[in-house]
Amino acid sequence: MLTKKQHELICFINDRLADTGVSPSFEEMKEALDLKSKSGVHRLISALEERQFLRRLPNRARALEVLKMPERAEAKRPAATTATLPKGNNYRPMPEPANDVIEIPLHGRIAAGVPIEAFEGSSMLAVPAALLGNGEHYALEVSGDSMVEAGILDGDYALIRRTETARDGEIVVALIEDSEATLKYFRREGAMVRLDPANRAYDPQRYAPAQVRVQGRLAGLLRRYD
């Protein structure tokens, strides 16, 4: 038997997983249940873990798996779903959620306009694993508007797959003269390397190959709406 708050929390987590595939944050859970502190959320989650309703996925940020739902919550589901429950069984195991979240290094801001210093220290950014493919990744916060026509806006987080090679037309992090980095389309133009913006207000940048080192290719974007 769950308490009212435990029941509210398991339903909130389950609904969020069904809608987005990602577990809600502790702050979101605190606000949804009108709790005074996150410690109350921790206690509720621990209680649900002990009763085997929830499981925390190891080495994942904000990753919770709903193992089963309370009988009352199941009763609200369509009859075709609950009819498959074994007689006398109050709980139904839930399917595996697509809520894997991994943390990748966040290396400061990168210019999508004129080049600026990159890799200004490092923190971590939680990213849905579905946005990333194979390989090693890191993130950079975009500064500037020179890639807006590619859908890359100021304040976005560019998810970068680490590599030192690129094909023409790919969006890359280019390190210029080992000191400045920029996010641009990569192209070869004769004996030169051309870095193209995606904004008609900016001109392409041309460098000798020895001046430019590819640091990674764009793998995805994260955008926050405040």
78 and 159 share a domain? no
Asked if residue 117 has pLDDT above 70, the reply is no
CA atoms within 13 A of residue 202's CA, in its CB half-sphere: 21
Contact present, 101 and 128 (Cβ < 8 Å):
yes
End-to-end C-alpha distance for the chain, whole angstroms: 38
Instruction: Say which residue the tokens 């769950």 belong to.
Output: 2
CA atoms within 13 A of residue 9's CA, in its CB half-sphere: 30
CA distance 214 to 31: 43
Mean pLDDT for 25-37 is: 85
184 carries an active-site annotation: yes
User: In this structure, what DSSP letter does residue 58 have?
Assistant: T
Q: Note down the domain range covering 152.
A: 101-222
Domain end point (choices 36, 54, 82):
82
CA distance 3 to 53: 13
User: In this structure, what token pair is assigned to residue 101?
Assistant: 């979240």
The active-site residue out of 30, 68, 143, 184 is 184
pLDDT band at 69 (very low <50, low <70, confident <90, very high): confident
**CATH of residue 211:** 2.10.109.10
The predicted-structure confidence for 120-164, as pLDDT tens digits, reads as follows: 556 888 888 777 878 889 999 898 899 999 999 999 999 999 999
Domain end point (choices 31, 49, 82):
82
The confidence score (pLDDT) of residue 82 equals: 37
199 and 160 share a domain? yes
**CATH of residue 26:** 1.10.10.10
The confidence score (pLDDT) of residue 16 equals: 83
The predicted-structure confidence for 160-199, as pLDDT tens digits, reads as follows: 999 999 999 999 999 998 888 899 999 999 999 999 999 9
pLDDT band at 96 (very low <50, low <70, confident <90, very high): very low
146 carries an active-site annotation: yes
Residue 92 domain-assigned (yes or no): no
CB atoms under 10 Å from CB of 110, counted, come to 26
Least confident among 31-35, 100-104, 185-189: 100-104
142 and 44 share a domain? no
Between 218 and 57, name the one with better pLDDT. 218
49 and 118 share a domain? no
Which residues are registered as beta bridge partners of 143?
Answer: 111
Residue 88 domain-assigned (yes or no): no
User: In this structure, what token pair is assigned to residue 190?
Assistant: 């004769």
User: In this structure, what token pair is assigned to residue 200?
Assistant: 């008609």
**Mean pLDDT, rounded, of the chain:** 79
Mean pLDDT for 93-106 is: 64
How many independent structural domains does the chain possess? Answer: 2
CA distance 92 to 74: 8
The active-site residue out of 30, 68, 143, 146 is 146
SS (H, E, C) 139-179: EEEEECCCCHHHCCCCCCEEEEECCCCCCCCCEEEEEECCC
Contact present, 127 and 159 (Cβ < 8 Å):
yes
Which residues are registered as beta bridge partners of 98?
Answer: none
CA distance 158 to 143: 10
